[in-house]
Chain A
Amino acid sequence: MQSILKRTIFYILFVGLWEGLFRLGIWPEYVLPSPVSVFKTLIHGFQNHTFLIGIAISMKRIAIGYGISIVVGIFLGLLIGRVRLFEETLGSFFSGLQTLPTICWLPLSLLWFGLNDRSIIFLVFMGAVLSITIATDAGVKSVPSLYIRAAKTMGAKGWKLYLEVIIPAALPHIVTGMKQGWSFAWRSLMAGELLIVCLGLGHLMMIGRELNDMSQVIAVMIVIIVIGILVDRFFFVKVEQRIRERWGLTKR
């Protein structure tokens, strides 16, 4: 209760300070809009559906790109984690690649796919896939061999061993990787949308910039932050909590 109160006071002060700075009139409105006009733009944006369409388009892109990266990332992670040859070759290659900022894939992506959706989806995919691969690899390597031996004596073989034992046992690591991958994917998506102009939230920000409408830019920024928080709270935090309960990692 105390912390909620503190937080509320903090946000009221923050918005108050912002409004105060605006009222001082040091900067013109196209540099620093008032919180009121940002709020109005937000309402307006949702009323005429432009924000909703933007959100829908961006979410579709990240859903496809991130979805593919989960499947591919887990598959590659299993390969590297279980097969010596792949560990020695792909493993080092991927950890090297991960140091490359995702946006560096943009030129190639443009050449390969052109100025369109697929190019952005590729960026999203590249943003998330390596984190998921590397985390899955670490997860697979940390699976106690006892689990595998026990499962083998109970008849687990081949892909069933992976599906029923190795993947679930590596799940805590995989989820951590997915969380990290999500944040990379989200960043890549925004970068891609800002640079490749074809709808989406990033595009809405660019429109704001071109029209000198800073309140639209900030309104879209707020939408992006809120989506980020919602996904974190309602997906990753929940999943992690369930895993902690199952594995008995919560402090009681």
Chain B
Amino acid sequence: MSESVGVENLIDAERIKVDGEPQVSPGTNGAWPKLRVQHVSKTFQSKNENVYVLEDINLEIQQGEFVCIVGPSGCGKTTLLNIVAGLENADSGVVWADDHKINGAGTDRVVIFQEAALFPWLNVVKNVEFGLKLKGVDGKKRRSIALEYLKMVHLTKFQHAHVHELSGGMKQRVAIARALAMNPEMLLMDEPFSALDAQTRWILHYELQNIWLKTRKTILFVTHNIREAVCLADRIIILSTSPGRIKKEFRVELPRPRDDNDVTVAEYSTRIMKELKSEITKVMKCEMDADSCVECDIKCTTEASAKTDIGGGI
């Protein structure tokens, strides 16, 4: 069954934990993994309890891989992305980008946020040039690089427009062009399309896949939308909530470009949805009955460990 639809259940959460020190070994094409997350944990202090946002996260991403992290809201997926980006610090654990330990933000890992974060005091093309200017690339070269990437996202016509004149989807495309213009080793995308309407998202899924096929950038993409993850990713990592752990991994091997509305994509999504359902119920329970959250957490955790085995059979 799993063969026929192409979903491969690679590793479950248990095995990752048992592995301990992840082996530093060359990846598929003899290269080092582009990104290695080792034993990353993060706790937030709330009023009278510790919230385990991330607990012992281990993850490897190869050069050119498109990885989606999926999980219910509040599972720490954005925190994980911020740690990889260097915008937040982990309480423990190490993140490696190529051969160096991550210590703060770096231009090798550019983030695309949920809101495009374009600067209103700059026009479109100057926004795309922003990172290059900081790098010290001279004016002419900067402009030609910026225009090249604006062309890639089909916005050449709007190069002199003000940011507020663009629609939400166009803003995100500019943000993508701006990130690509930096020629980063890795793109980190934090729910970039979740604020867009369905049609725009559909178009951008298509465009992002084409860009990825063209550039073969390593992409780490965070989303709560399973359909989106199936549509975009080579590999989907499911994160559980409180504590945030890697629950499961799926490999998606469908021909690209994929379409959100494709039957196989829908079928995949349903399967992964089943896996995530217990997590979502857990979140719902906690949100609906905030007073007994601690108690609920305990319940949820036991329930989750029980469900891990059930879900394993996909």
A interface residue numbers (CB < 8 A to B): 144, 146-147, 149-156, 160, 164-165, 168-169, 171, 245-248
Instruction: Please report which residues of chain B, range 78-135, place their CB below 8 angstroms from some CB of chain A when the two chains form the complex.
Output: 85-87, 105-107, 109-111, 113, 115, 117, 119-122, 130-131, 133-135
With known contacts A245-B162, A248-B162, A248-B163, A153–B119 Cβ distance under 8 A: no
Contact with B164, one of A144, A154, A171, A247 (Cβ below 8 angstroms):
A247
Using CB atoms, name the residue of chain A closest to B115.
A146
Complex Cα distance, B131 from A164, in Å, reads 10
Asked if B162 and A147 make an inter-chain contact with CB atoms under 8 angstroms apart, the answer reads no
Asked if B162 and A153 make an inter-chain contact with CB atoms under 8 angstroms apart, the answer reads no
Asked if B113 and A150 make an inter-chain contact with CB atoms under 8 angstroms apart, the answer reads yes
A residues near B120, Cβ cutoff 8 Å:
169, 246-248
Complex Cα distance, B109 from A151, in Å, reads 12
Most-contacted residue by chain B among A147, A153, A155, A165 (CB, 10 A): A153
Known: A146-B113, A150-B111, A153-B110. 7 other contacts (CB 8 A): A147-B119, A149-B111, A154-B130, A154-B178, A155-B135, A164-B134, A246-B162
B130 to chain A, nearest CB (A): 6
Complex Cα distance, B111 from A193, in Å, reads 56
Residue B165 CB within 8 A of the other chain: yes
A162 to chain B, nearest CB (A): 13
Residue B230 CB within 8 A of the other chain: no
Residue B182 CB within 8 A of the other chain: yes
Most-contacted residue by chain B among A147, A154, A247, A248 (CB, 10 A): A154
Using CB atoms, name the residue of chain A closest to B123.
A246
Complex Cα distance, B171 from A248, in Å, reads 14
Asked if A149 and B162 make an inter-chain contact with CB atoms under 8 angstroms apart, the answer reads no
Asked if A168 and B87 make an inter-chain contact with CB atoms under 8 angstroms apart, the answer reads no
Using CB atoms, name the residue of chain A closest to B111.
A153
A residues near B113, Cβ cutoff 8 Å:
146, 149-150
With known contacts A149-B117, A153-B110, A169-B119, A164–B130 Cβ distance under 8 A: yes
Asked if B134 and A153 make an inter-chain contact with CB atoms under 8 angstroms apart, the answer reads no
Asked if B164 and A248 make an inter-chain contact with CB atoms under 8 angstroms apart, the answer reads yes
A residues near B121, Cβ cutoff 8 Å:
168-169, 171, 246-247
Using CB atoms, name the residue of chain A closest to B178.
A154
Number of interface residues of B (CB under 8 A): 28
B61 to chain A, nearest CB (A): 17
Asked if A164 and B133 make an inter-chain contact with CB atoms under 8 angstroms apart, the answer reads yes
Complex Cα distance, B122 from A243, in Å, reads 11
Using CB atoms, name the residue of chain B closest to A242.
B121
B residues near A149, Cβ cutoff 8 Å:
87, 105, 111, 113, 117
Give 15 A-B contacts (CB < 8 Å), ordered by A residue: A146-B115, A149-B113, A151-B130, A152-B87, A153-B106, A153-B107, A154-B110, A155-B131, A164-B134, A171-B121, A246-B120, A246-B121, A247-B164, A248-B162, A248-B163
Asked if A153 and B105 make an inter-chain contact with CB atoms under 8 angstroms apart, the answer reads yes
Contact with B134, one of A160, A168, A169 (Cβ below 8 angstroms):
A160
B residues near A160, Cβ cutoff 8 Å:
134
Using CB atoms, name the residue of chain B closest to A247.
B120
Asked if A153 and B133 make an inter-chain contact with CB atoms under 8 angstroms apart, the answer reads no
Using CB atoms, name the residue of chain B closest to A156.
B134
The 10 closest A-B pairs by CB, nearest first: A248-B164, A154-B131, A150-B117, A155-B107, A168-B121, A152-B105, A153-B111, A155-B134, A247-B120, A146-B117
Complex Cα distance, B134 from A189, in Å, reads 41
Complex Cα distance, B133 from A166, in Å, reads 16
Complex Cα distance, B119 from A144, in Å, reads 10
Complex Cα distance, B106 from A171, in Å, reads 27
B160 to chain A, nearest CB (A): 12
Complex Cα distance, B117 from A149, in Å, reads 9
Complex Cα distance, B182 from A152, in Å, reads 13
